[in-house]
Amino acid sequence: MYKPNQPVKTPGVNYQDIIQEVYQKVNSMEDPGQPASYIPELETVDADNFGVYLTTLDQGAFGVGNCYEAFSIQSIAKVLSLSLAYGILGEHIWNRVGVEPSGTAFNSLIQLDADNGIPRNPFINSGAIVISDILLSNLENPKEDFLAFVRSISKNPAINYSPTIAASEKAVGFRNVALCNFIKSLGNINNDPAEVLDFYFDLCSLEMNCKELSELFLFLANNGVNVFDKSAIVTKSQSKRINALMQTCGFYDESGEFAFKVGLPGKSGVGGGIIAVHPNQYAIAVWSPKLNTKGNSYKGMRFLEEFTTKSQLSIF
């Protein structure tokens, strides 16, 4: 069982001291970011929230700040939907979605036309919509089954969708409606676009706190194996490839900079959350709602850059 504030150490590295030092430094910085304004409900969150939580494979855990306050994880959920779909379809999944960085905005329609409806990767909106279509075709009760999958990884039955966030996204999601219908016209959506989008908006509305998010993503630090019951969520090879996609595509147009400055696989969400994974060591979640111009948490990005610089550990 993972317990808060247990010793978090690696030979030569005291994560707890580093987290506290970096948190204080970044928290004192001026934050020029702004909360996501195109989803009205996200603007109601206190923009000054800032939390961090790290969980290690050897049962160390430490959190600071607003790490126990739930938030909408948004696009971080795309990693979870990919994991479930990948486990179902195996390598056939790559017939429907690519593995390359997009080079364009996360909600762009431009590349879809040139690529015949095959999204560049599963983490841009078009890719996640195709993954949603795959799950819709392969799950008997998609919303319930996906939620059960997430809860089973975390052993946390309290994790849930946010009806308020989902409704807010559906009310303004015209760009995603256009994406889904355009992909449908190119033959890469099999279900009714309205049903695909309804599922997509719900999965993006998942809420959890930094502690829950950090514990949930430990399976990707553990070669695809659930640390709680030792069950395989994905295969070792699939875990490696999901991590590779997070490394190259997890931060939209800032993915290269994140790899350069932080050096960990990770995924951001416009709710201000970031999850980062150090294979065979830990998962760390950061949350700060104010986003930079690339749509990633300003303080979250700064924290993780400082954190891996201080610890002198990355995957490189």
Q: Distance between CA atoms of 297 and 47, rounded to whole angstroms?
A: 11
Range in 36-45, 211-220, 301-310 the model is least confident about: 36-45
Rounded percentage of the chain residues whose pLDDT exceeds 70:
95
Q: How far apart are CA 215 and CA 206, in angstroms?
A: 15
Q: Radius of gyration of the chain from Cα atoms?
A: 18
Per-residue model confidence (pLDDT) at position 314: 85
Mean residue pLDDT across the chain = 93
Q: Would the pLDDT of 1 be above 50?
A: no
Nearest CA-CA partner of 120 in 34, 179, 196? 179
Whether the pLDDT of residue 155 is over 50: the answer is yes
- pTM of this prediction exceeds 0.75: yes
Q: Rounded to whole angstroms, how far apart are CA atoms 191 and 106? A: 22
**pLDDT above 70: residue 218:** yes
CATH topology assigned to domain 75-204 = Beta-lactamase (3.40.710)
Residues 306 and 311: their CA atoms lie apart, in Å, by: 9
- Kindly report the number of other CB atoms within 10 A of residue 182's CB atom: 18
Instruction: State the average pLDDT over residues 2-13.
Output: 53
pLDDT at 105 over 80: no
Q: Which residues contact 76 (CB under 8 A, 6 or more apart)?
A: 213, 267, 268, 269, 273, 274, 275
* Confidence band, pLDDT 50/70/90 cuts, at residue 5: very low
Give yes or no for residue 176 having a pLDDT over 80.
Answer: yes
**Tens digit of each residue's pLDDT (9 = 90 or more) over 35-52:** 998 888 998 999 999 999
Topology match between the domains 9-73+208-311 and 75-204: yes
The helix/strand/coil state of 96 is coil
| Cβ-Cβ contacts under 8 Å for 198 (sequence gap 6 or more) | 170
Q: Where are the domains of the chain?
A: 9-73+208-311, 75-204
pLDDT in the model for residue 42:
92
Q: What is the mean pLDDT of residues 97-115?
A: 81
Architecture field, domain 9-73+208-311? 3-Layer(aba) Sandwich (3.40)
